[in-house]
Structure 1
């Protein structure tokens, strides 16, 4: 279990598990570079990125990789 007080990037990195960064970025509809910046806690994802509903070109929001 990951502590809830960890930065969002650390939690996303943990919960994406063995999935490749480019694969997760493609599912969410963001660039791998942007996901990398989130994972390194350089950027904070917006709520629409975290909880966006599936639509053309995007299967889920980044929040799907969090518990």
Structure 2
């Protein structure tokens, strides 16, 4: 799991990039991370994969 500071930076960065409230990004990110954790045997890169998934999902949302 990323450190709290790293997590807040990830959430803030995605929120800025996608023009989405940080609370929304944090919730989607946590859900994505939980989903990956449930399926992964190696968990080293899960925060990176979750961040990519959230960015992609939010970029596709209608504005």
- Shared fold per TM-score greater than 0.5: no
Give the TM-score normalised by the residue count of structure 1. 0.34
- Please identify which structure carries the higher helix content: 2
Q: TM-score, normalised by structure 2?
A: 0.35
